[in-house]
């Protein structure tokens, strides 16, 4: 079973539809028992860090996420929530990735919205079959700094973490559910981990 975390963030339906296109059913849930039993957990996200983290903490979902042992994929805001801290309303996050989330510098056009390729791809099963020529879809005003868990880089104004992995936790800043064939490939890879 694939569980998509339900919290006060958007984009759960887009992720669910993308999984259906790959032939996989999923459940959108905030039930800790279902999340703990799921084969895979996806934390999608379109929203704001502080309200998202408050929602998770109020329901004890922050500790549930940290206890998960199966593969977990954070998407966009989901990636940012997995970091130590976000400059978005000075928010303490989950601390899975030892890095900060920063706002793009003044003068940068934000949000960073559109198609960009990946650089510095690591040899990892999540990125299998993706190449430097593949473009993926981004919509974000904040980014995770490069760190030891960075598996792929995107360069918009400055280089930032486009994909990260720490143990069973994976995360991407782009939206694979909106990234055509390359995004479908990444989701398929995640489901096969």
Q: Which of 154, 177, 181, 192 is catalytic?
A: 177
Tens of pLDDT, residues 40-87: 999 998 889 999 999 999 999 999 999 999 999 999 999 999 999 999
Enclosing domain of residue 183: 2-191
pLDDT score recorded for residue 120: 95
177 belongs to the catalytic site: yes
The Cα 41–Cα 5 span in angstroms is 7
Q: How many domains does the chain have?
A: 1
Q: Which of 24, 33, 76, 154 is catalytic?
A: 76
* Helix residue ranges, H only, 28-179: 32-37, 49-58, 61-67, 77-81
The Cα 88–Cα 70 span in angstroms is 29
pLDDT score recorded for residue 9: 80
92 belongs to the catalytic site: no
Determine contact, residues 18/50, Cβ cutoff 8 Å.
no
Tens of pLDDT, residues 3-14: 999 997 878 999
The Cα 176–Cα 183 span in angstroms is 4
Q: What is the pTM of this model?
A: 0.97
Helix (H, G, I), strand (E, B) or coil at 136: strand
Mean pLDDT estimate for the chain: 96
Residue 99 neighbours by CB under 8 Å, 6+ apart: 83, 84, 144, 145, 146, 147, 149, 161, 164
Q: Which of 154, 166, 175, 192 is catalytic?
A: 175
**CATH number of the domain enclosing 169:** 3.40.50.880
175 belongs to the catalytic site: yes
């Amino acid at each position: 079973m694939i569980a998509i975390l339900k919290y006060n963030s958007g984009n759960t339906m887009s992720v669910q539809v993308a999984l259906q296109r790959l032939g996989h059913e999923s459940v959108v849930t905030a039930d800790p028992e279902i999340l703990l039993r799921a084969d895979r957990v996806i934390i999608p996200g379109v929203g704001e860090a502080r309200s998202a983290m408050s929602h998770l903490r109020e329901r004890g979902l922050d500790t549930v996420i940290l206890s998960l042992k199966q593969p977990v994929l954070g998407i966009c805001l989901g990636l940012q929530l997995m970091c130590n801290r976000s400059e978005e309303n000075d928010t303490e996050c989950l601390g899975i990735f030892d890095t900060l989330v920063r706002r793009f510098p003044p003068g940068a056009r934000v949000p960073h919205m559109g198609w960009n390729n990946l650089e510095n791809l690591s040899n990892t099963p999540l990125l299998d079959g993706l190449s430097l020529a593949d473009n993926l879809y981004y919509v974000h005003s904040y980014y995770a700094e490069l760190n030891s868990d960075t598996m792929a880089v995107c360069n918009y104004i400055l280089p930032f973490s486009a994909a990260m992995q720490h143990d069973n936790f994976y995360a991407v800043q782009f939206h694979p559910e909106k990234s055509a064939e390359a995004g479908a490939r990444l989701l398929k890879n995640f489901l096969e981990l």
